[in-house]
Every structure is written in structure tokens, then in C-alpha cells.
Amino acid sequence: MSTADTPDGRWPVRVWPGLVILAVGVLMWTIPPRVAPRTMVHFMTWFMAPILGTVAAIGWWTFASRVRGTFRWLVPTLVLVPAVVLALTVYRGEGKEMAVAIYGLAAALVIWVGWLAASVPLSGEVRRNGLLVGLGGLWVVAGMLKLEGTDADLVPNFRWRWQQSEEEQFLAGRKAAPAPVAAGATVAVGPGDWPEFRGAKRDGLVTGVKLDPDWAARPPELVWKQRVGPGWGSFAVAGGKLFTQEQRGTDEAVVCYDAATGAEVWEYKTPARFSETIAGPGPRATPTVHDGKVYAQGATGKLARLDAATGRHEWTADVVAAGGVLPQWGFAASPLVADGVVIVYAGGGTGKGTAAFKAADGAPAWTAGNAKHGYSSAQLATFGGVPQALMLSDYGLESFRPADGVKLWDNPWTIPDVNRSTQPTVLSDTDVMIGTGVGNDQGIRRLRVTKAGDAWDVKSVWQTRGAKPYFNDGVAVGGHFYGFDDDRFCCVDLETGKQLWKETAYGHGQVIGLPDQGLLIVQGVKGQVALVQADAAELNELAKFPAISGKTWNHPVVAHGRLYVRNGQEAACYRLATR
């Protein structure tokens, strides 16, 4: 083939194979999110489409485009070499190298093929120069950007490299660390407190409180709002204090705030930083307050006990050293304290899926179970008059005797490559409901657990695809489950498992139930908070307001007539009018 332009000055490039490659890549990025959202198929096509597309495009360009001479090798070099250089330099660390492979190569493919297709009427010289400018400009701009995570649908959040991140703005504006707190009264958990993940029973329910539902006349009143360090856990509330975890530079911090003012009371920092491309940096778990102590697990598996009043460190245990395995998105289990031990997810597989440490000194107490992948926290329940700790993971649901880890029963529902993140929903002294996890279409299952003598019997009451939880917990109110069918808020009849309705309203949010009034407080993925009637007939939203801004995956808290919300960049407290 001739390398020269045609007599009329055109560049005789065969473009249609590139358009086919680009079209296939677009389909790989758009179809899986619609037909199999957040499944392993979705994640793999999201990751592989730009890489496979680039490989195919280089093959087309080299062997089937009619291009010869310098340009035959120059264009693939302009696509690959800058990507590698940026991955090894400005994007290196915290898993952000993948951003270049995914978003950079995808953009390069669009510019490469798109320009050639759009510039057909132009002269060969203009087309060649335009392609060089487009690809070169892409990598110049890419070098000026930094990635700060994605949303739940893998849409990236970029900002200019010279702009401070939310974490940097927080650290720059933060006042000096508070002075050490002198020993004082023990922080006791009282009525109305929210001492651990999703409340005292880990069920996301608030009882004994009646809110005024007329938010139009008496809207939530802002008490305080402030920046916080990155973190994806929630608040524990006890003794007039808030406890949470944050990333503060190279340290993970357990932080105590005054619940009424937001003023920092104390911090305990330990060197650790976990980050990945989707969520970004920060601890994932919520601290637990028990008998005047705070138990907190960091994203790398360090479990610490602190004095709740002063933040004084008492011991640290290492889940990985006990046989655990660091999960893909970090340890996220909030510690459960029961029968003198602290129980957490471990993920070490057979015999080491769940771990417990002695509450008194952090010494290993036991390991048990089959969990290899999961982000749920242990859940207390009593079936057959026997208190037990439930752990939901990729294996299914397992029940252990808290004191010694003896397995009482299990319900295998093993789904490979699925990341269960939600809590078991205890419905009664016989029934519990569990979900399959991220992106799996098998939904939720209601189990009935009974005991006859020493034998346990576990049966499935129903299974439904009417709710497919991602990382979004639901609540049981008035005989119905209110939660999320992927990113759509829904209602499921607990008697039959039938989905009664689902609506696109809040994205990947979280929900709190107020069963005394038949109300729900729903926090949307962008920080908005809605008051919703627990109505089995339809979504009945009573009011909504913007509580905080930014990606909000953390669980909200209601305690003592106040709503506490946080995400990876800010936290706020609102006073709720009561009756």
C-alpha cells in the first residue's frame, strides 16, 4: 500500500475496523450495568473493555489500517507509553494505577478512532496533526488530574492536581489536636443511645421516640456541620459523645466528638492507610461502645480497645495475624462484644472465617467458620432460647456460640465472587432474613431456625428477587421490609416475600425505621435525607432536605431527638422536632 496521500491530499486510512472496535467497547461498558449491574461481569467488562479495545486497536492500526511508515508506530506509542509513565509516576499508589488503564485508555481510544472518523473530509496533514495533538493533549490533561474515587456505578471523580482533596482541606483547616483528657466518669450507655453499628440491636430501628412528621412547619434544625477525615463507617453515640473513625494523613484515627457541639474531645491515631480506587481512603467500620470502652477495627485489620472517656489505648489485636485475610475493599466489620469476647469478620476460610479476641486483654479467643470474602458485621440473635452470633459472608450464614466459637448451625448460600455487605435482619425468635450481596440476582431469603433437644433445624421460608441489596441495609417495620433493590428503594411483604413496589428515589442509600410511628428516615447517596411513611401501597415521601453533600455511603444515626449524618468529607447534626 502507498504511504502517500491521495492526489486530492486525503489520508487513505481504513477507519471502519476502528469504529467496530470502539462500538464493541461502548457496548461492553453500557450493557452489563443494565442487565447485570455490579456483578463480576460488570466489574470485569468495565476493567477489560479499554484494555482489550486498545490491544485490538493496535492490531487494526498496525496491520489493517493502510498506515505505513512512521505513523504506523508513532500512534500506538503515543497511546501506550504515556499511560505506563503516568501509572508509574503521578498515579502510583492506592490502586490508582488502574485509573490510567481504564479511563485513560478508554479516552485515548475515543480520541483516536473518533477523530479519524470525524476528520475524513479534511486533508491528510490536518488529520495526522490533529491526531497527534489530540492524543498528546489527552495525556497532558490526564497528568494534571487526580482520581478521588468513584460512585457506586464506577463513574470517576476527578479533580485538578493542584486542587486540594477533601482530606487535604480538612487537615489544613483542622485545629490542633485536643489536649489529653483527664480520667473522669466512665462513659455509660444509656436509654436512647446508639452505641454500635445500626443501633443497640444492630437493626436500624429507633423505638420510644415520636418525631413530629411535619417537616414543612418544623424542619430539621442544623445544630452543627463540619469537615471530617475520610471514613465509611457511621457514628456510635453514648454518654453525650460521638465515636467514629477517620483517615488523617498516614494515620487511621478513632475520634471522639461532643455530640451537642461537634467539638473534638480526643483522638487515637495508629499508623495505617488503606485506599482503593472505588471508595478511596479511610477506615470502613463503626466503633462499638461497651462497658465504658470503645472497640474499633481499622481497614487493615487492627482491632483496638480504648477508654471511651479519655481515648487511652488499652490493647491492639491483629486480625490478619490471627489467620484473617485482608479483603479487597478492606476490613469493614464493626466489632461485636458478647460473652467477654470481641467478634469480627476475619476471612481466612475454613476454621478462620470469623475471629474473636478476649475483651479484657485482646488475646486470641477463637477462630471458626468458612468465610473467605465479606463485609458484614457479626449480629447477635437468640433462637431456641440460645444467644448466638451470626456471621454472613460469601459462604452463607453461620451461627456461633459467642463464648467459645462452637458452630451451632449454618445455612450455606455460597455465591462465588459476591461481596455480601449487609446485616442479617433478625425478624423474631425463630426467623432471620439474609441477602446475597453485590450484584447477584438471587435476592433475599427468609430462614426459620428451630431447636429440638440438641439439634438445630434451619429451613427456607421463602426466597425472592424482590430486593437485591448492594451495601445498603434495610429495616423491618410493620410486617414489611423497606430497603433497596440494587439502587431502587423498595418494599417487600415479609409474610410472602413478594415485592410490593420499588422506586428510583435515593440511589444507593441507607434507611432507619421508626416502628412506633410507621416512619422511615432515608438517607440518599448524595447526602439528602427524606422522611418517608412506611406504606406498603406506595412510596410516600413526606419531606426531604439536603443534609450534607458528596458521596454518602455511611449509615445515618438518630439518638436523643437528633439526626447525625456523615460521609467521607463532612458530618452534621440536626435537631428533629418531637411530639
Instruction: Write out 468-513 in H/E/C secondary structure.
Output: CCCCCCCEEECCEEEEEECCEEEEEECCCCCEEEEECCCCCCEEEE
Looking at residue 1, its pLDDT comes to 35
Coil, helix or strand for 276? Answer: strand
Query: Do 289 and 413 fall into the same domain?
Result: yes
Provide the number of structural domains found in the chain: 2
Cell triple for 359: 475483651
Low-confidence ranges of the chain (pLDDT < 70): 1-4, 8, 94-95, 417-418, 438-441
> What phi and psi values does residue 331 have, to the nearest 5 degrees?
-65, 130
Element housing 438 (H / E):
none
Going across the sheet that includes 528-533, the strands are 510-514, 519-523, 528-533, 540-546
Query: Do 146 and 206 fall into the same domain?
Result: no
Looking at residue 153, its pLDDT comes to 74
The whole-angstrom separation of Cα 378 and Cα 373 is: 14
> Is residue 428 situated within a structural domain?
yes
pLDDT tens-place string over residues 399-454? 999 999 999 999 999 877 667 889 999 999 999 999 877 656 688 999 999 999 99
Query: Do 170 and 45 fall into the same domain?
Result: no
Given a contact cutoff of 8 angstroms between Cβ atoms, the answer to whether 521 and 507 are in contact is: no
- 264 sits in the region (left: phi over 0; alpha: psi -120 to 50; else beta) called beta
The whole-angstrom separation of Cα 557 and Cα 199 is: 8
The whole-angstrom separation of Cα 87 and Cα 95 is: 10
**Closest listed residue to residue 187, CA positions, set 48, 290, 276, 267:** 290
Looking at residue 438, its pLDDT comes to 65
Looking at residue 418, its pLDDT comes to 67
> What phi and psi values does residue 42 have, to the nearest 5 degrees?
-60, -50
Query: Do 104 and 171 fall into the same domain?
Result: no
Nearest-5° Cα angle at 415, 410 to 418: 115
Distance in Å from the first CA to the final CA of the chain: 84
Coil, helix or strand for 325? Answer: coil
Amino acid letter for position 113? V
Looking at residue 113, its pLDDT comes to 95
Query: Do 171 and 156 fall into the same domain?
Result: no
What is the domain-level CATH number for residue 411? 2.130.10.10
Looking at residue 2, its pLDDT comes to 38
The whole-angstrom separation of Cα 557 and Cα 555 is: 7
Range of the domain at 397: 166-176+184-575
| 511 bridge partner residues | 522
Query: Do 238 and 281 fall into the same domain?
Result: yes
